[in-house]
Amino acid sequence: MEFGTDPFEQFMYFFRPLWQVLTHKFFLMLYALAIMPSFIRWLVRVHFNARARRTGVDKTDRMSGREFEQWLSVKFKQMGYKVQLQRGFKDKGADLILQKGPLTIAVQAKKLAPGRKVGVKVLGEVLRAMKYYKAPRGIVVTNQYFTREMIEEASGYTDVQLWDRPRLIREIEKLNQTKTAAVTQTMDGRINKSIK
């Protein structure tokens, strides 16, 4: 086969059979399967970030450590706890002391920059705080995540809960659902009274 002098024509002569193979249904299916996991991860990340925005957890990334403690204090109060916000570095390992009835909970709050993780050292801090404040339960809460070592070590303590970013989002979502249900019941009560 003789080619003209047009380079595009020469290119297409060799490329056309390759293009036909690459666009065959089988190969298109392979491409789809290859990009599907990345696409699903992207969708999950977009959904997770939207939940973080709705709950306000995304704003914690721009807070100072003290502002994060104050933010948590407000959220725990909304959950029905009496909250004592401890002062500074003499907090004996607890940033917040929660009380609901006879139950006392020592809370160690760790506000970290994105990409950082809370290490196992913090577990010792909350355990000391539980002993000092005579709290039968403890919570370590962070706006980020825990190291694998922290998760493994804490799994041996049934009285300590770890609240990472996803757990914090879930707890705030539960709180928001409870508040929405309470408002709906109040509104239903007012509507029923006005109908009667």
In the prediction, which pLDDT does 15 show? 77
In the prediction, which pLDDT does 182 show? 67
Give me the domain span that covers residue 66: 59-179
In the prediction, which pLDDT does 189 show? 59
In the prediction, which pLDDT does 143 show? 97
Q: Are residues 102 and 118 in the same domain?
A: yes
- Alpha carbon distance 100, 70 (integer Å): 18
Q: Are residues 70 and 165 in the same domain?
A: yes
Residue 102 belongs to a domain: yes
Residue 38 belongs to a domain: yes
Q: Are residues 16 and 92 in the same domain?
A: no
- From first CA to last CA, the distance across the chain in angstroms is 93
Residue 41 belongs to a domain: yes
CB 168 within 8 A of CB 141: yes
Helix (H) or strand (E) holding 48: helix 25-55
Residue 188 belongs to a domain: no
Q: Are residues 18 and 85 in the same domain?
A: no
For residue 149 the two structure tokens come to 């070592």
In the prediction, which pLDDT does 58 show? 95
Q: Are residues 44 and 79 in the same domain?
A: no
Residue 103 belongs to a domain: yes
In the prediction, which pLDDT does 185 show? 63
Q: Are residues 30 and 96 in the same domain?
A: no
Q: Are residues 64 and 123 in the same domain?
A: yes
For residue 148 the two structure tokens come to 């694998």
In the prediction, which pLDDT does 171 show? 96
In the prediction, which pLDDT does 57 show? 95
Q: Are residues 78 and 96 in the same domain?
A: yes
Q: Are residues 82 and 116 in the same domain?
A: yes
In the prediction, which pLDDT does 32 show? 78
> CATH number for the domain including 135?
3.40.1350.10
In the prediction, which pLDDT does 188 show? 59
Q: Are residues 117 and 165 in the same domain?
A: yes
- Give me the number of domains the chain comprises: 2
**Strand pairing of 160-163 and 96-100?**
unpaired
Residue 48 belongs to a domain: yes
Q: Are residues 16 and 99 in the same domain?
A: no
Residue 4 belongs to a domain: no
Which of these, 27, 40, 52, 44, lies nearest to 170 by C-alpha position?
52
Q: Are residues 43 and 82 in the same domain?
A: no
In the prediction, which pLDDT does 51 show? 93
Residue 162 belongs to a domain: yes
Low-confidence ranges of the chain (pLDDT < 50): none
- The model's pTM is 0.74
